[in-house]
Structure 1
Amino acid sequence: MLSRSARKALTAKSTKPLFRFRGCLLSSQDTRPLSTDVQHHLPATSDDRALISLFDNPKSTFLSSPFSSTGLFGHPSLTQPSSLISLADSTLVRAQLLTERVLRARGSREELFKVVKNLDRLSDMLCGVIDLAELVRNAHPDRLWVEAANQAYESLCEFMNVLNTDVGLYEVLKAVLSDPSIVKTLSPEAHQTALIFWRDFEKSAIDLPPAERSKFVSLSSEILVLGRKFLEGANAPRPPTSIKPSELTGLKDKGMGTRLQLQAQFTQRDLLVYPGSMQAHMIMRAAPEEEPRRRVYLAANSSTPEQIDVLETLLRKRAELARLVGRDSFAQMTLDDKMAKTPDNVYNFLDALMNHTRPFAKRALHTLSQRKQAHHGLSSLPIIQAWDRDFYCPPEPPAPPIPLPPLTLGTVFMGLSRLFQNIYGISLRPADSASGEVWHSDVHKLEVVDHDKGVIGWIYADLFARPGKPSGAAHYTVRCSRRTDDDDTHSDLMAEGLEDRVKASEEFEAAKRHRLPNEAGVYQLPLVVLLCEFPRPTLTRGPTILEWHEVLTLFHEMGHAMHSMIGRTEYQNVSGTRCATDFVELPSILMEHFLNSPTVLSLFDVDESSTIRQIGNHHSDPCHSIDTYSQILLAAVDQVYHSPAVIDPTFNSTAELAKLHEKRGLIPHVPGTSFQTQFGHLFGYGATYYSYLFDRAIASRVWQNVFTHDPLSRETGEKYKREVLQYGGGKDPWIMVGALLDAPELTSGDAEAMREVGRWKIEDEVGQPGRH
């Protein structure tokens, strides 16, 4: 898992082109019954037991079928690394042909009516391969596959960068959107898709003169290079600090403290403690003397002048980019298509949230100050410093709201399937995968089954740790929803002799099409991959037992997955999680709230036995409000760093951080520290770091007002599907949230709406800081 602070933050995404053509974006099992006062029993179905077997039994029968073979994700051609490169080459040819068709559209009124559909189809054609390549290069254990994926990814992204600045495409779309007779024929979803393309064109400086457009491209490249350099510095180890053995006397962690002191005596020198190490964490939590904690904090939050210069140059280049396209700041440019809309509205939200949270955080700090006073025998209350937080209030691991037996991975998936069955009429079902369909034997395939429509998508679960696999948890959208029966592909191929060159791409597309029962149209069904790093089940240790934070992580990521499945739109650019950055985390954070409910937790009971009483509320971190307030300050720092202030030659990122802490903070800024160079989300989520706090506030409100009374209500779940999930990014999020909460005053999404969300209480999602 990520560090405490990182779990609260948004995980930085990979850096794809900005334009929407990116789209693209153990011991043996305890058999005690799980028991609560809630009597909500479901007999275990064959699918329930199959899920348990799939994930808990190392010899599960749901493995690659020996009787059939195919390529990755069921594409017959993707059987070897070179086939991925061939697919990228073939896709590039088809994409060029479709681009030429769109460019000629103004010569035919009939073609103008098809422009939005064709642009979305072009985007999907490219993203379908790019997103697959993105998954392969992050998850595949074979180096040759990774190299092929990198090559495919880079070649298609390069073409997308060309499309980003194609004035001809921009002029064609402009002709469509300026023609009322065409606009009125567009469905709301199609119109939203057109506006997304339009905004992304404008963000790419498409309407600037050639020289300025060239400057835009140059600045964009510089920002990408600086961003990568900034992230390297943010993740680089900090130099150690020297700690005297005598300073560790009285450590609350006797075992580790004794070992450290013996180590010092053996080497006959001071200890070198590296920030982020186990020794550093132990000192921050357990060293009674203040000085070693202070020095470890200073070392952990140090920066070189070069690291600070890289960040400030990055911020300055972003500001120049925004000025080039006529915006006052990078934040103003970035927030156009977000729920917040403007930097002022972000401040409206943050100020209201800060005012709401501050009294709780001050009370918690007062308690810490009393503990410090008693610890040192002082006559007056001392100031709590940054290095005091973890010593006087050690962070506790998250815990469930009621006593639970150990939960296996299979049992948790069974509980997830039962939850979805109750609220959505959707369940998870293990499926055999053909030989060659998955990239590792640990990967399991699940069908997502709607009880009325049948299979509506697939989840490939790659959940076990292995060497070389990325750390953390992630949800990859490998394939988006899109309606395909009205594609009119026969009009694409205008040149002769290209049949063989486009064949691989055509076959790739054909394999993605499906017709659902009781529904008109043929759809490309969503396909997602979940990556985690849980320990594998073994014959000797038995099934994987999840820690509670891992259960939370799985629920969070499955919230993204179900958004992808249910947000089955006709246009891929608004499918599922392809929505505003400050809206996309709502479904996943809401999923964590379901774990507050004993009723929901009863779904983990395999054998329908429920006898143990419910016991109070779970413990919560008494200093949670301090951490929330710290996150609000970081979101404010993000806004300052992406404001017009960075253009000033005297701008100093460390001074601005210190100023904000002194003006609005609760714990004093420590002179000589510069945490901002480790704030990696400044690159991946520049000007949008507030988003996670924003979605936490909305999710808390939705849970309390909509679900908490009867969390397994099918009527409530259907309302949530109908008002929110089904639209993906195809509808204004404010209208969706307003309808779900029966709060029409929110639908304008104005400054007062932002302030209102800021006044809502942010519930602690079962004691666990947020994930991506």
Structure 2
Amino acid sequence: MFARSAKKALASIPSRQKFRFRGCLQDARHVRALATQVQHHIPASVDDKALVGVFDNPNPSSGSSPFGTTGLFGHPSLTHPASLISLADATLVRAQLLTDRILRARESQSELLKVVKNLDRLSDMLCGVIDLAELVRNAHPDRMWVDAANQAYETLCEFMNVLNTHVGLYEVLKAVLSDPAIVKTLSPEAYQTALIFWRDFEKSAIDLPPAERNTFVSLSSDILVLGRQFLEGANAPRPPASIKPSELTGLKDKGMGVRLQLQAQFTQRDLFVYPGSMQAHMIMRSAPEEEPRRRVYLAANSSTPEQIEVLETLLRKRAELARLVGRESFAHMTLDDKMAKTPDNVYNFLDALLKHTQPFAKRALRTLSQRKQAHHGLSSLPIIQSWDRDFYCPPEPPAPPIPLPALTLGTVFMGLSRLFQHLYGISLRPADSSSGEVWHTDVHKLEVVDQDKGIIGWIYADLFARRGKASGAAHYTVRCSRRTDDDDQHRDGTVEGAEIQIRESEDFEAVKRHRLPNQEGVFQLPLVVLLCEFPRPSIAKGPTVLEWHEVLTLFHEMGHAMHSMIGRTEYQNVAGTRCATDFVELPSILMEHFLNSPSVLSLFDADESNTVRQIGNHHNDPCHSIDTYSQILLAAVDQVYHSEVVIDPSFDSTAELVKLHNARGLIPHVPGTSFQTQFGHLFGYGATYYSYLFDRAIASRVWRDVFANNPLSRETGEKYKCEVLRYGGGKDPWSMVSSLLDAPELEVGNAEAMREVGRWKIEDDVGQPGRH
């Protein structure tokens, strides 16, 4: 509640809503006046072209200022690891003072009027250090910094766990929401923030007797421990498959096949092939004989009894937790503040999606069956097994819709900046970082510049692979938007002997505050970090050239980043990407769709010397629908595993998986396998794994109905910015989607709305998402 995921997030509606919305409409009118100009590309600016040099030069001359010295992210105090621990301790002192102030709020009406603001401020005070520590834990190359970040993280999270079950805070908030006169003073954004705190308190067993509340805390701790054990098991290596050398005859991959056969002849024994290895992938795609593929598949999808027990215990504990707070299941508890609202609505969505996808998947499966029939010279169509998928339809990497020259990292950033200028009047500008401001020389600082308001936030791009860095791609919200000029912090009080610590925390927060031109109030401006693991440019190899899937990943993560920048709200609990789990991926997936447009792709050409034209349909994986259908089944498995069935003492996760495959699956379940122990999303996305499919469906419809005809239209971009992005999590997502698509029937967000989204065709040839 008080700490929300650094990679997720939540936004808000401004307190002066009419003034702000009128400003948005004025922007839109201004754009309409320029509509004819938008048909021609905004030329690449000096700043746009500078992005190419920043990211493509192996030894960039700019990036680090020789004149300034500071600490991480410009905080003068954060110059050494111990300073992070000191900051956490100082934050703890101020957080306790603010907590005490909130607890005394019923002593005066003026303090009750500030409760929601102060709860949000308390959350931000803690999140501001926790989210920074989370980034350091995953990105900093210095072990001492990582250790300090772990300590700071654990110290503040422990305090947050106390706040999450604090009866006194709950009673004060209850008093606020029970007073119609106070509620009437709350802006829509403030009221939404209050509801977030209220729901989270209720999910934390706050109104239960002390003994049951203690049980809740104990179950929560058990779930965290089991979750870590489950993820360790999910990522643990599986035992090897034993493959006879004779079974590798005729491998399509001649080079690897010959090497394996020579290895077998030299050792004079069977080969041990480990799941996930290059040899395993090669066998699954290239081995003509079915038996080695079957054995590799069995090995890859095996589980130990201990791994299954950890998962099933985790699921039972979650169900117990939900029952403790009066919910039918963990899914019911989790979904009530999501777009889906109920498990039944999720099933409505998944059922509609299965019905839509099934004919395409069956058609693709028949194609595979025909290939298998021809391969073996059979008289009838054979059954396609799980180990046949990659052999008869080898997965191919995604490809651009039109031929493109090699795209360097700098070229893609230039294209992103030009796209944002077209859509939002916002550009990316390289900025020098002071000594000590970044954690590695690879990190580049970018200013996010609005053409009317100036700098509205910062992106720190840490994009190159290095040892010890977290793998994959991620968007970290290190700092959220929040209005600060009405903080009233001088009334928080003080503690004798702690003046230095209080000043340390206040100075840390002071660095974040900025007053923008043409806008009332002082704001804490958003700051995000993008982590990727692209190859570093070098003198020998030149700039980093991105594969198409890497371009997709970068666009995806920048969708999150721009949501953080534009969703710049007065309350941090609803800022930017701090929104419902089943809404947060919409902006990032929509960004991937822009890469289907030739006019957008032409933005990668600074001088427009190359003509980009549509030349027919691009590569489409014929088995794509099979994979989509399989993902829908996984979302259904997630719902089953978080339903009331896990309470039954006879619950068997493998049996439930088999039952679902027999009822709805296309490819038979393989006896002896138990994939569920490797389905890591069951922990982090428990009961919400459907979210990516859900947002993918909405993004496809938004692209088709809103952007596809003119993807560089400023008027369209302004509409999307004003009706979706700027609210973050401060407005009902169904209302935002309904308004954007001019579809009033969606606004209620009921079961029929979920079915309607499920019926929409998913046009997601744009590739795979980045890290959520």
What range is the shorter-chain TM-score in? Answer: over 0.9
**Is residue 540 from structure 1 mapped to residue 544 from structure 2 by the alignment?**
no
Deviation at 1:608, TM superposition (A): 1.8
CA contact (8 A) 1:621 1:767 kept: no
Distance verdict in 2 for CA 1:733–1:611, change over 3 Å = closer
Letter in 2 for 1:675: F
**Is residue 668 from structure 1 mapped to residue 668 from structure 2 by the alignment?**
yes
Q: With structure 2 as the length reference, what TM-score do the two structures score? A: 0.95
Partner of 2:756: helix, strand, or coil?
Answer: helix
2:28 aligns with none
Distance verdict in 2 for CA 1:277–1:115, change over 3 Å = same
Distance verdict in 2 for CA 1:292–1:769, change over 3 Å = farther
Query: 1:16-57: CA deviations, max 9, x gaps?
Result: xxx2344646xxxxxxxxxxxx99544332101210010011
| Deviates further, 482-491 or 494-503 | 494-503
> Partners in 2 of 1:322 and 1:412 — Cα distance?
46
Deviation at 1:764, TM superposition (A): 1.8
Deviation at 1:607, TM superposition (A): 1.7
> Partners in 1 of 2:612 and 2:566 — Cα distance?
36
**Is residue 449 from structure 1 mapped to residue 431 from structure 2 by the alignment?**
no
1:225-244 equivalent positions in 2, closer than 5 A: 225-244=225-244
> Partners in 1 of 2:71 and 2:253 — Cα distance?
53
> Partners in 2 of 1:611 and 1:677 — Cα distance?
50
> Partners in 1 of 2:90 and 2:719 — Cα distance?
43
Runs of at least 5 residues in structure 1 that lack an aligned partner in the other structure: 1-18, 26-37
2:2 aligns with 20
CA contact (8 A) 1:356 1:759 kept: yes
1:620 aligns with 620
Distance verdict in 2 for CA 1:771–1:138, change over 3 Å = closer
CA contact (8 A) 2:203 2:333 kept: yes
> Partners in 2 of 1:650 and 1:153 — Cα distance?
39
CA contact (8 A) 1:131 1:479 kept: yes
1:50 aligns with 50
Deviation at 1:234, TM superposition (A): 0.3
| Deviates further, 39-48 or 566-575 | 39-48
Query: 1:570-595: CA deviations, max 9, x gaps?
Result: 00000000000000000000000000
Partner of 2:458: helix, strand, or coil?
Answer: strand
Letter in 1 for 2:241: T
Query: 1:332-376: CA deviations, max 9, x gaps?
Result: 000011000000000000000000000000000011011111111
**Is residue 487 from structure 1 mapped to residue 487 from structure 2 by the alignment?**
yes
CA contact (8 A) 2:42 2:422 kept: no
1:587 aligns with 587
Query: 1:502-528: CA deviations, max 9, x gaps?
Result: 111000000000000010000000000
1:11 aligns with none
1:684 aligns with 684
1:700 aligns with 700
Partner of 1:593: helix, strand, or coil?
Answer: helix
Runs of at least 5 residues in structure 2 that lack an aligned partner in the other structure: 9-37
> Partners in 1 of 2:595 and 2:572 — Cα distance?
31
Partner of 1:447: helix, strand, or coil?
Answer: strand
Letter in 2 for 1:204: S
Letter in 2 for 1:751: A
Deviation at 1:60, TM superposition (A): 1.4
Partner of 2:185: helix, strand, or coil?
Answer: coil
> Partners in 2 of 1:715 and 1:612 — Cα distance?
24
CA contact (8 A) 2:697 2:758 kept: yes
Letter in 1 for 2:465: A
CA contact (8 A) 2:526 2:565 kept: yes
Letter in 1 for 2:399: A
**Is residue 762 from structure 1 mapped to residue 762 from structure 2 by the alignment?**
yes
> Partners in 2 of 1:729 and 1:59 — Cα distance?
41
> Partners in 1 of 2:422 and 2:731 — Cα distance?
26
1:475 aligns with 475
Letter in 2 for 1:481: S
Partner of 2:214: helix, strand, or coil?
Answer: helix
1:422-433 equivalent positions in 2, closer than 5 A: 422-433=422-433
1:639 aligns with 639
1:127 aligns with 127
> Partners in 1 of 2:497 and 2:471 — Cα distance?
46
1:172-571 equivalent positions in 2, closer than 5 A: 172-571=172-571
Deviation at 1:63, TM superposition (A): 2.1
Partner of 1:449: helix, strand, or coil?
Answer: strand
> Partners in 2 of 1:588 and 1:695 — Cα distance?
9
Letter in 2 for 1:20: F
> Partners in 2 of 1:591 and 1:764 — Cα distance?
12
Query: 1:248-275: CA deviations, max 9, x gaps?
Result: 1111111111111000000000110000
Letter in 1 for 2:513: R
> Partners in 1 of 2:644 and 2:539 — Cα distance?
60
> Partners in 2 of 1:260 and 1:497 — Cα distance?
71
Letter in 2 for 1:479: R
> Partners in 2 of 1:236 and 1:771 — Cα distance?
20
Deviation at 1:64, TM superposition (A): 1.3
Q: With structure 1 as the length reference, what TM-score do the two structures score? A: 0.95
Letter in 1 for 2:748: S
> Partners in 2 of 1:494 and 1:84 — Cα distance?
22
Letter in 1 for 2:127: C
> Partners in 1 of 2:764 and 2:340 — Cα distance?
23
CA contact (8 A) 1:219 1:321 kept: yes
1:609 aligns with 609
Distance verdict in 2 for CA 1:519–1:42, change over 3 Å = closer
> Partners in 1 of 2:620 and 2:279 — Cα distance?
26
Distance verdict in 2 for CA 1:401–1:460, change over 3 Å = same
1:31 aligns with none
| Deviates further, 467-476 or 607-616 | 607-616
Partner of 2:50: helix, strand, or coil?
Answer: helix
Deviation at 1:187, TM superposition (A): 0.3
Partner of 1:303: helix, strand, or coil?
Answer: coil
CA contact (8 A) 1:22 1:160 kept: no
Partner of 1:162: helix, strand, or coil?
Answer: helix
CA contact (8 A) 2:568 2:576 kept: yes
Deviation at 1:497, TM superposition (A): 3.9
Partner of 2:447: helix, strand, or coil?
Answer: strand
Letter in 1 for 2:584: V
Query: 1:437-468: CA deviations, max 9, x gaps?
Result: 00000000000000000000000000011111
1:597 aligns with 597
Partner of 1:458: helix, strand, or coil?
Answer: strand
Query: 1:637-695: CA deviations, max 9, x gaps?
Result: 00000000000011100000001001000000000000000000000000000000000
> Partners in 1 of 2:247 and 2:409 — Cα distance?
43
> Partners in 1 of 2:331 and 2:695 — Cα distance?
19
CA contact (8 A) 2:44 2:418 kept: no
Partner of 2:171: helix, strand, or coil?
Answer: helix
CA contact (8 A) 1:23 1:573 kept: no
> Partners in 1 of 2:422 and 2:49 — Cα distance?
17
CA contact (8 A) 1:386 1:670 kept: yes
Query: 1:261-311: CA deviations, max 9, x gaps?
Result: 000000000110000000000000011111110000000000000100000
Partner of 2:587: helix, strand, or coil?
Answer: helix
> Partners in 1 of 2:467 and 2:597 — Cα distance?
36
> Partners in 1 of 2:768 and 2:326 — Cα distance?
41
Distance verdict in 2 for CA 1:769–1:296, change over 3 Å = farther
Distance verdict in 2 for CA 1:684–1:294, change over 3 Å = same
CA contact (8 A) 2:602 2:612 kept: no
Partner of 1:603: helix, strand, or coil?
Answer: helix
1:101-140 equivalent positions in 2, closer than 5 A: 101-140=101-140
> Partners in 1 of 2:220 and 2:486 — Cα distance?
36
Deviation at 1:770, TM superposition (A): 6.3
Query: 1:196-250: CA deviations, max 9, x gaps?
Result: 0000001110000000000000000011111100000000000001000111111
Letter in 2 for 1:625: S
Partner of 2:95: helix, strand, or coil?
Answer: helix
CA contact (8 A) 1:21 1:122 kept: no
> Partners in 2 of 1:202 and 1:41 — Cα distance?
52
1:32 aligns with none
